[in-house]
């Protein structure tokens, strides 16, 4: 299944919120939909969901206009959408039936997902009695109740401790492996890098950059290398002594056991490696330093800040 947003434009009054947005999500893959607050992410998601309708452009599934009665969509909003004073099992079953499940199907789905989330013991508890992290797990269970084909996750790791974050990572990975198309929106760039092969960064209602994340990173200059060592100071000294003519800087970082070397020309990477071997320098690893997604995000959305 391929879900496409094609040439979407959306105004609210005189404010142009989305300016010709195009993106694509495919079964078995996750894409990152990124942007600062107010960039247009939520409006894009709501158009996919059918909450808003675009002023122009289309939402397509396999080349045809989306029929939301035929495609199962799971949406985890940044702001929780469950009832705090209702029992967890009852409201999850209710949501399942709203999505077309029979009573028994909904009960089976509730049991499956509460078990998967390690939340079975809370079935008869009111949502408001749970911690923020456990409420987030219930919200994800509600998102996945009907085995959706398209999953939209907005800040899914909000409020989670490392153990529960690992559980959610496993669940999301399983959904991708099982063939769901996932749209992942988050300001936690490490999770986006882990899940998403392609990214779309919005800025002021426009796509500022898009494409395969690995290819975007490789398009940047490859003139900075990281050398990992238990003795970064000695590595830095050796580099500056033996390769000063090709190196702009060699900055050791004792905390990360790394020396970041800035080359005058990226073609001189091999010379640095040869020098380290000749000097029998105590290094453990050598790799080109690519920009992080966080750095790419700031470049395209920082607007000089």
**CATH number, position 232:** 3.30.70.2810
Residue 239 and residue 100 share a domain:
no
**Cα-flanking dihedrals φ and ψ of residue 71, to 5°?**
-110, 135
For 72, residues 6+ apart whose C-beta sits below 8 A from its C-beta are 99, 146, 147, 148, 149, 150
Q: Which residues of 13-45 are buried (b: 16+ CB within 10 A; e: fewer)?
A: eeebbbbebebbbbeebbbbbbbbeebbbbbbb
**pLDDT at residue 255, as a whole number:** 76
Q: Does residue 247 form part of some domain?
A: yes
Q: Does residue 14 form part of some domain?
A: yes
- Please give the residue that has the higher pLDDT: either 69 or 254: 69
Domain count within the chain: 2
**pLDDT at residue 294, as a whole number:** 92
pTM of the model: 0.85
Domain boundary among 217, 239, 260: 217
Domain boundary among 164, 189, 217: 217
Share of the chain above pLDDT 70, in %: 99
Render pLDDT for 34-63 as a digit per residue (tens, 0 to 9): 999 889 999 999 999 999 999 999 999 999
Sole residue written with tokens 């979407």? 8
**pLDDT at residue 132, as a whole number:** 87
**pLDDT at residue 285, as a whole number:** 86
Q: Does residue 299 form part of some domain?
A: no
Render pLDDT for 163-185 as a digit per residue (tens, 0 to 9): 989 999 999 999 999 999 999 99
Render pLDDT for 232-285 as a digit per residue (tens, 0 to 9): 888 888 888 888 889 888 888 877 788 899 999 888 888 888 888 887 888 888
Cα distance between residue 57 and residue 20, in whole Å: 8
Q: Does residue 303 form part of some domain?
A: no
Render pLDDT for 121-150 as a digit per residue (tens, 0 to 9): 999 999 999 988 899 899 999 999 999 999
Note the residue count of the chain.
305
Cα distance between residue 80 and residue 88, in whole Å: 13
Residue pair 29/294 in contact by the 8 Å Cβ criterion: no
Smallest Cα–Cα separation from 235: which of 214, 205, 256?
256
**pLDDT at residue 92, as a whole number:** 95
Q: Does residue 113 form part of some domain?
A: yes
- 117 is in which domain, residue-wise? 2-217
């Amino acid at each position: 299944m391929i879900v496409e947003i094609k040439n979407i434009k959306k105004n609210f009054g005189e404010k142009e919120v989305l300016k010709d947005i195009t993106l694509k999500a495919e079964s078995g893959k996750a894409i990152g939909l990124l942007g600062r607050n107010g960039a247009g992410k939520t409006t894009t998601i709501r158009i996919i969901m059918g909450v808003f309708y675009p002023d122009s452009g289309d939402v397509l599934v396999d080349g045809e206009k989306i029929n939301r009665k035929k495609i199962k969509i799971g949406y985890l909003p940044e702001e929780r959408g469950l009832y705090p004073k209702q029992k967890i099992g009852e409201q999850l079953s209710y949501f399942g039936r709203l999505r077309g499940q029979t009573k028994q199907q909904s009960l089976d789905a509730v049991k499956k997902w509460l078990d998967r989330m390690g939340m079975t013991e809370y079935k008869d508890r009111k949502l408001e009695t749970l911690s923020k992290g456990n409420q987030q797990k219930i919200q994800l269970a509600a998102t996945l109740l009907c085995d959706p084909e398209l999953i939209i996750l907005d800040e899914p790791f909000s409020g989670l401790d490392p153990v529960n974050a690992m559980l959610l990572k496993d669940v999301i990975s399983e959904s991708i492996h099982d063939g769901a198309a996932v749209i992942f929106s988050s300001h936690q760039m490490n999770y986006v890098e882990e899940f998403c092969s392609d990214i779309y960064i919005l800025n002021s209602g426009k796509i500022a950059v898009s494409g395969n994340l690995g290819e975007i990173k490789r398009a940047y200059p490859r003139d900075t290398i990281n050398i990992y060592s238990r003795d970064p100071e000695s590595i830095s000294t050796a580099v500056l002594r033996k390769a000063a003519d090709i190196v702009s800087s060699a900055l050791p970082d004792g905390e990360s056991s790394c020396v970041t070397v800035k080359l005058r020309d990226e073609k001189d990477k091999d010379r640095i490696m040869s020098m380290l071997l000749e000097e029998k320098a105590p290094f453990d690893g050598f790799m080109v330093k690519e920009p992080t997604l966080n750095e790419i995000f700031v470049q395209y959305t920082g607007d000089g800040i």
